[in-house]
Amino acid sequence: MTVTKGLEGIVATTSSISSIVDGVLTYRGYDIDDLAENASFEETAYLLWFGSLPTSAELGTLSRDLSAFAPIPEQVIEQMKLYPKDTNTMAALRTAISSLALYDDAADDMSREANEIKAVKLQAQLPTVVAALARIRKSLEPVAPKEGASIAENFLYMLWGKQPDIVSVKALDAALVLHADHELNASTFAGRVTVATLSDIYSGVTSAIGALKGPLHGGANEAVMKMLEEIGTLDAVEPFVRGKLERREKIMGFGHRVYKNGDPRAKHLMKMSLELGTMKGDTTLYDMSVKIEDLITGQKGLKPNVDFYSASVYTQLGIERELFTPIFAISRVSGWTAHILEQYGDNRIIRPRAEYTGLVEQKYVPIEQR
């Protein structure tokens, strides 16, 4: 047996959803740079699910479906009010999304049509759940979704309880496009493994949320912001980074399993971070981030990944740190569900092997003799 720790370089499936070739990320053959500049998140989600960009009529239907599905069952809201207020938001999200299945009569309907509807429903309901969780944590009543608003607008509206400004909506929409899919990343793989047993789509997305939570994956964006808060000032960057490197500690938001010459999504978030800082008249977070990048890239050759500049982008949008990874999930649920549909379409259970390294030839010893 050849053991490949972390499955690095192992090709575990075929997929026609997204690809990373020579550092270029594409969704269904469209370069992420093109989509980040031009596509809305709804168009992107449609592309991931159905394989082509929507016509106006198709986009209109999707937008109406997303609006219709956005409200969540009252029972789920009542349960969320019972969660501890200081609990990890990704843990709360994982529980809430799992509980949505209990109120969906079609949860175990494995037909293609039912699963496509549930993919759209999960996409519609995840932002409602995250906004409700955020408000409940602050002892505020959840705000019902607004009809006819995009996912980005609706999320900020439900979060803040007022109409968001156009700049914030556009910035969040672009961030959602950039995070929507990423080939066989850890959370997508977790989702695919779960549904490859022919378990339901809610179970797949719940597994994926659990995998995204970790700081080596989606949780890194919150860890980056924690680091920026800990550093505090531009002058403190250099000694902080020096200390980290001397102690051989990882710097969150840097490095990637697949990209060794830089993550193509990072430059878009970097630009957004500067634009938002400039608009607000304070580029401290951006300046600190650039200085960290210069030092880490200069000394370790590591480049920032998607999580690095998203931390300063979300903070400058006025979004609290505890919501960064849940926002990642609001976007990535489009990719997760596209992959789950693809897995169902050509399924084989995913069951690798392990090389056994434990004790051998043990004989049972009665408990009183141990």
Rule CB under 6 A: which residues touch ligand ACO?
6, 185, 216-218, 220, 250-257, 300, 302, 305-307
> Which is closer to ligand ACO, CB of 259 or CB of 344?
259
Is 307 annotated in the active site?
Answer: yes
Tally Cβ neighbours within 10 Å of residue 289.
27
Based on CB atoms, which residue is closest to ligand ACO, 169 or 227? 227
In Å, the largest CA–CA distance within the chain is 75
Q: Which is nearer to ligand ACO, 94 or 332 (CB)?
A: 332
**Which uninterrupted H or E stretch holds 161?**
none
What element of type H or E holds 103? none
Alpha helices in the chain (DSSP H): 32-38, 41-50, 56-69, 74-82, 89-100, 112-137, 151-160, 166-179, 186-195, 201-212, 220-231, 237-246, 266-280, 284-300, 306-316, 324-345
Nearer to ligand ACO, 220 or 231 (CB): 220
Out of 173, 268, 307, 339, which one is annotated catalytic? 307
Question: What's the DSSP call for residue 6?
Answer: G
Q: For ligand ACO, give the closer residue by CB, 185 or 283.
A: 185
For 144-170, b where at least 16 C-beta lie within 10 A, e where not — what string? ebeeebbbbbbbbbbbbeeebeeebbe
Cβ-closest residue to ligand ACO?
Answer: 255
Query: CA 169 to CA 210: how far, in whole Å?
Result: 27
- Catalytic pick among 182, 256, 268, 339: 256
Q: How far is the CB of 58 from ligand ACO (least distance, A)?
A: 29
User: 24 φ, ψ to 5°?
Assistant: -105, 125
Q: Provide, rounded to whole angstroms, the least separation between the CB of residue 250 and ligand ACO.
A: 4
CB of 53 to ligand ACO, least distance (A): 25
* Phi, psi for 9 (deg, rounded to 5): 80, 0
Quote the least distance from Cβ 94 to ligand ACO, whole Å: 17
Q: Residue 220's CB: how many other CB atoms inside 10 A?
A: 27
C-beta of 253: minimal distance to ligand ACO in Å? 5
**CA triplet 200, 206, 210: central angle to 5 degrees?**
145
339 given a catalytic annotation: no
Catalytic residues: 256, 307
